[in-house]
Amino acid sequence: MRNDHDPHSVNFLIDEPGPDPRFGRVRADAPSIVWNGGMAVFALAAGPFFITPSAIILFFLTTGTALLLGHSVGYHRMMIHGSFAAPRWLTRTLVWFGAFVGMAGPLGIIRAHDTRDWAQRQADCHPFLAHRTHIVRDAWWQIYCRLDLDRAPRFDFSELDRDPFYRWLEATWRWQQLPVALAFFAIGGWGWVVWGVAARVAVANHGHWLVGHLAHNRGPQRWTVDAHGVQAFDVPWAAIPTMGEAWHNNHHAYPGSARIGLHPGQSDWGYVVIRLCERLGLMWDVQTPERLGQRAGLSEVARHEAGLAAHSAYGHTS
């Protein structure tokens, strides 16, 4: 649970003995197959027949807005990690944009994120939670299946359950696409529905899996977190489309930070928005590595490798 003494903690998961991230069964999940598969098939089948300049522009605008305001700033940095504070009207707006992405409701995204976060901090966990399997199988697992752990962790959603807005959004997150689709149809016809809803949702869900798979298997790496069974990597080519989320190695190092692109040249549009809102007085208590302080068990890869080399040389000469 959110811990004032540990700003890097897993925020909504109840830390207690008993849950085990190693054992469970991966099962096909009918709602995910219908939703994610249906959006993808509809977009692939109808997209070529309804492609227009305005539909393509709408696709990029709505996808970019949803990923920036919804997934990155609203869901991930604000709601899940509490890396900044904002007035209620703005937090609700950002969380709605999170549901607009079409990936999950607010409680569902927290449960999926925090389960994976908790599992990857253990010495070992199920391959589903570590993305530790063949890329094709991992795509099937992550997009169309669910993992039922034999001993799953519990969550404390009391903070969010008190707000009827979060309960309503959790119950209706898929239906949030309907009024959007109706508005798009009234303005631009079926082309706007196909590209502004189906293609957007399909790309967001499948793209989220792809970046997540790569970010736990290969790429540049500056940090390691001692005792964690799963380490993270950066996916530089995805920095702009993910609004900065692809600097995943930085995020594992400082999960409570509102800034994810920590080093020169690392694009982070999510943090740009947060800084702008902070200057306008719309966000405050913005957390960065400087405010969070040094994380226990965090090592820089270059220094770690240099230390190993020196130790090896010393051992050889002795």
pLDDT reading at 311 higher than 90: no
The mean pLDDT of the chain is 93
What does the pLDDT read at residue 19? 97
Closest by CA position to 61, among listed 195, 173, 194, 176: 195
Read off the pLDDT band of 310 (50, 70, 90). Answer: very low
Q: What's the rounded mean pLDDT across residues 196-212?
A: 98
What does the pLDDT read at residue 317? 36
Closest by CA position to 277, among listed 16, 18, 93, 15: 93
Read off the pLDDT band of 16 (50, 70, 90). Answer: very high
pLDDT tens for 69-118 read: 999 999 999 999 999 999 999 999 999 999 999 999 999 999 999 999 99
pLDDT reading at 216 higher than 80: yes
Percent of the chain with pLDDT over 90: 88
Q: Give the strand pairing for 145-151 and 20-28.
A: antiparallel
**What is the CB neighbour count within 10 angstroms for residue 259?**
24
pLDDT reading at 17 higher than 70: yes
Cα distance between residue 19 and residue 156, in whole Å = 15
What does the pLDDT read at residue 3? 55
Read off the pLDDT band of 202 (50, 70, 90). Answer: very high
